[in-house]
Structure 1
Amino acid sequence: MKFGIYRLNYLLNSIALIDLKEEYGAEVSFLSFYRAWNHCNIENDLSWLNWVLSSPSDVLLTWEPWLIPPAHHAPEIQPDFSLKNITSGMYDTYIRAFASILAAFQRTIFLRPMHEMNGCWYPWCGTVNQNTPDDFINAWRHIKKLFVEADASNIKWVWSPYTSSYPDNSENGICSYFPGDNQIDMIALDGYNWGTLNESGAWQSFLELFGKGYDIVTSLSTKPVIIGEVGCTEFGGEKSKWINNMFLILSSKFSRIQILIWFDIDKECDWRIASSDSALDTFKKNAKIYFK
């Protein structure tokens, strides 16, 4: 299994990656980055993409059709970025230009468009902006078609639901968003142990957090599985024990997971591996064993 991290938009050069390997006990094979469509001006992307794709590690690029910062307090309500608008061709010029830029890079790029679509917090989610799961599938296929037309054969397509659906009902289930095995190269699952910070106040083990979602996606496809985002709070339990149990269960229950990418920032809470000395020490001890 390989190790990756997200650290805002910091590009880690070779020296920094060596330092990070010493700190965390594992080579950083993947760096995670996020790019919003914003005003869909391809000129805004050029220097940033050149910077990101100069990385010595593999790149997971999460591509988000929305405007940041949003104009109001409900960022998911951005009807301009509804799934039907994407499929209608409203953004084809931008999509084609972005695809052409990525196609020019002589390296594999792991592209993750419209992630966590089974949630309710992004404009492309299936329960907001009058979207439906079928609209998501149509938008996914439309975007991929434009990339194929741009000869972007270096792209690996990463389909990435959240490990649990919100709202949790059959219409919004993970299966409803699956675009087909021929449309994807890899599956990513995202999940966070919020502990007592969320409404339920429930501390969730890695197995409780990812088990159901993992069983669903591995029944849908034989494609490789990764953890696209994971983090654990310090509120409500012992993070060091959580990390230790994560590594133990990964090797037994989650045998198809090939990459784990940690959301290594202080955001809603301190998700970082090094949020405490005990968490860091436990991670480092296990990382030397499990990450190859």
Structure 2
Amino acid sequence: MKRRQLLTLLAVTGTAACGTSPAATTATATPSGAPVSVPAPATTERLGPALTATSPPPSPSTSVSPPVTGKPGVMLGSYLALGGRTLRQSLALRRRQLSREQRIVHRFYPWDGYLPASEPDVAAASRLMVSWHGAPWAGILDGGSDAMIRSVARKLKAMDRPILLRWGWEMNGDWFAWSGAANGQDPAGYVTAWRRLHRIFADQGATNVSWIWSPNWNSSPDVPWNRMQSYYPGDAYVDWVGVSGYNFYGESPSTLFGPVTRRYGGRKPIILSETSAVRDRARYIERLHTWVADTPAVGAVVWFDTDIQEGTDHDFRIDADPSALAAYRSMAQDPYFNA
């Protein structure tokens, strides 16, 4: 599959960005991910003490924090953008099809554009997940974006609801302006930028925000400097570890999500922040259902549920065909996926 270039549109208009990476040097070719999120640890509802951008990474813990729901299981939700329907209409359709609410509703916000004061269509019982676009690191590291970051922190705080915040996702790909490939091949700059944002949010008292660090399932380019772990900000700055992965080349859930889960699942809850089935839809959903149920470190799954993704003719909807919808409904009605 030919790699798609960066496609960024305002999520508040219902449009997101989904990139694909070229084949990796391993035996399996690799696409990229698009947007998703999970239940956070018990401490996720508030940030820790203010941390400076230059603070060293803390020592990793060895225990898995329980989901924010306080019970075992998985929060299942989606990014919803269906052709010809508003978000409210799309949510109502999925509610009828699945006989349940979305536990997570995923939205995309631009880096320095319009930010809504609220999300009235997102039910109080649903967790709001925000993918906030990144930016070239230089304008963050030099302090030039501090005022805007403070403004966003205050707006998200004022929403007065728990928010899962995924900033600068898929940084180990080469399709976004905030990628390592576009910023001097220096992942340390991303780490410093992330810590700066984290500190500013803490200073603004945005205690309702939990932070999702979310690489793509594989790196593009697949070279030593671009390994995903080089971008990890440190356990004190991350509440959830997310991952984007789609079966563009027939990859299994264990191929897409196993490496991230093995690396970080003993320290942080894992959220499949973007996934969808491109090939063998029903089979992929069935395998995902089984793999997640057998992987307790995973606390959330967020489907990329759209048929209007800019730059691709792929149909990512859960009801793209009847067998896919039946498989997804089976997963959605499993009590384990109703945490």
Please indicate the TM-score interval, normalised by the length of the shorter structure. Answer: 0.7 to 0.9
Q: 2:284 aligns with which of 220, 242, 257?
A: 242
Q: 2:128 aligns with which of 47, 56, 59?
A: 59
TM-score relative to the length of structure 1: 0.81
Q: Tell me, yes or no, if structure 1 residue 167 matches structure 2 residue 221.
A: yes
Q: Counterparts of 1:225 and 1:90 in 2: how far apart (Å)?
A: 32
Q: How does 1:206-285 map to 2 (within 5 A)?
A: 206-218=253-265, 222-234=267-279, 238-252=280-294, 254-266=295-307, 267=309, 268=312, 269-285=314-330
Q: What stretches of structure 2 of length at least 5 have no aligned partner? A: 1-73
TM-score relative to the length of structure 2: 0.70
Q: What stretches of structure 1 of length at least 5 have no aligned partner? A: 66-80, 196-202
The alpha carbon displacement at 1:54 in A equals 5.7
What's the counterpart of residue 35 of structure 1? 109
Distance 1:167-1:131 versus aligned 2 partners, 3 A rule: closer
What's the counterpart of residue 106 of structure 1? 160
**Alpha carbons 2:80, 2:90 under 8 Å: kept:** no
Distance 1:180-1:12 versus aligned 2 partners, 3 A rule: same
Deviations 1:151-203 (A, max 9, x none): 111111111111111112222111101111100111111111113xxxxxxx1
Higher helix share: 1
The alpha carbon displacement at 1:105 in A equals 2.6
What's the counterpart of residue 2 of structure 1? 75
Distance 1:158-1:276 versus aligned 2 partners, 3 A rule: same
The alpha carbon displacement at 1:258 in A equals 1.0
The alpha carbon displacement at 1:18 in A equals 5.9
Q: 2:118 aligns with which of 18, 41, 50?
A: 50
Matched-pair identity in %: 29
Q: Counterparts of 1:228 and 1:91 in 2: how far apart (Å)?
A: 26
Amino acid at match of 1:209: L
Deviations 1:61-115 (A, max 9, x none): 01103xxxxxxxxxxxxxxx42122111121111111111112232211111101
Q: Counterparts of 1:118 and 1:165 in 2: how far apart (Å)?
A: 5
The alpha carbon displacement at 1:129 in A equals 3.3
Q: Counterparts of 1:157 and 1:144 in 2: how far apart (Å)?
A: 8
Give the count of matched residue pairs.
Answer: 257
What's the counterpart of residue 72 of structure 1? none
SS of alignment partner, residue 248 of structure 1: helix
SS of alignment partner, residue 144 of structure 1: helix
Q: Tell me, yes or no, if structure 1 residue 121 matches structure 2 residue 157.
A: no
SS of alignment partner, residue 264 of structure 1: strand
Amino acid at match of 1:248: T
SS of alignment partner, residue 319 of structure 2: helix
Q: Tell me, yes or no, if structure 1 residue 291 matches structure 2 residue 333.
A: no
Bigger drift between 210-219 and 276-285 goes to 210-219
Q: How does 1:74-223 map to 2 (within 5 A)?
A: 81-195=135-249, 203-218=250-265, 222-223=267-268
